[in-house]
Amino acid sequence: MKKSFLFFSSIFLLSCGQKTEKTKVVVAPISESIYASGTVKSENQYQAFATVNGIIQDIFVTEGDTLAKGAAILSISNDVQKLNKDNASLAAAFANMDANNGKLIDAEQAIDLADRKYKNDSLIYTRQKNLWQQNIGSKLELEQRELAYQNAKVARNSARIKYADLKRQLQLNAAQSQKNLQISQTLAADFTLRSDIDGVVYSLPKKKGELVTAQTPLAIIGSATQFVLEMQVDEYDIIKVRKGLPVKVMMDSYKGQVFDAVVSKIDPIMNERSKTFLVEAAFVAQPYLLYPNVSFEANIVLQSKPKAMLIPRNYLVNDSFVIKANDKKVAVKTGLKDYKMIEILSGIAEGDELKMPAK
């Protein structure tokens, strides 16, 4: 009797182990979405670089400081450039038009003198010519007066040309020296790193006295209040994404909370290494406190329905059939789907009982 009991118990357990799972068609909301992960970035966040090489001389801010656009962040030693700027300033002062006004006055006086001599020699020549027409005076005297008149005429024109040339040269020298001074001032300004935006200093990786180059990131600056969500979307899903789609965001910093956002930007070029596209989203209602580089997970919602006939996805056979409880195989038309459930548009009705397909 003991052996018979064990035999029947084994049959019973075997039949229980082979019991087919079943489910019913239910009506519930569903959303089809694309999974994405990414990091929070401060709006307009950027790495600040200097355009010169040198040693950090002074640092004017600390991490967490709020900056206005144009505010100095740090300076790089520039003794040689300072001397060049001083030389350019001296040259500009020397070539300034006001400083050379005396030369122009002398040239104007030379023109005035040449004009008076020309008028005087012209008058004497005219008188001598009239006298010669009356047979008064000598031919030699007439020729001398004419020669003096011509010389005075040439001298007058020469004085005017010299004045114009001098003025043009002085203006050129003044303009060139001012340009050189501006260039020197611009180069000197390159030795002071300034903020491009109103924002916050999030990082200062270098210290005073360190050698830096134009390729060295010196600071990370970004908005103090506005943040964006940068997500990586797989190349197979990117064609489904468009601006304005809702996004559901989950962060470890706010466990259990879901934040709403909207797709705001899609980069049109793929990252060849990761085979993903950069997609940005903006918060609808931003959390009260955020920091750059906080990680998050998100679902970009493609479509949603408040009521749909749903079954588990693993009850589908070849993506287009289901098996009813009476073992009848029925063709169905599917709609939206998420990671677990799928919408049934036709073929079965709410409450129908289905069997799990054999594996």
Mean pLDDT by 10 residues, the chain (359 residues): 35 46 89 90 92 89 93 83 67 73 84 89 86 83 86 89 87 82 72 91 92 91 93 92 94 92 95 94 92 93 89 89 89 86 89 86
Helices (runs of H) and strands (runs of E) counted in the chain? 4, 20
Q: What is the pLDDT of residue 7?
A: 33
Measured distance CA(262)–CA(10) in Å, rounded: 58
- For CA atoms 238, 241, 243, 247, the dihedral sign is negative
Fold designation for 21-43+226-359: Elongation Factor Tu (Ef-tu); domain 3 (2.40.30)
Decide: 234 and 35 in contact? Cβ < 8 Å. Answer: no
How deeply is 20 buried, as exposed, middle or buried, from its count of CB atoms within 10 A (0-12, 13-18, 19+)? exposed
DSSP 134: T
* DSSP per residue, 248-312: EEEEGGGTT--EEEEEEEE-SS-BTTTTEEEEEEEESS--S---TT-EEEEEEEEEEEEEEEEEE
CA distances from 320 to 265, 325, 338 (A): 36, 17, 16
Where exactly are the structural domains of the chain?
21-43+226-359, 46-72+196-220, 83-189
Provide the 10 A C-beta neighbour count for residue 88.
Answer: 21
Q: What is the pLDDT of residue 300?
A: 94
Residue type, 216: T
Q: What is the pLDDT of residue 167?
A: 84
Provide the 10 A C-beta neighbour count for residue 214.
Answer: 11
- For CA atoms 250, 253, 255, 259, the dihedral sign is negative
Of the CA atoms within 13 Å of residue 320, those in its CB half-sphere come to: 1
Indicate the pTM of the whole model.
0.59
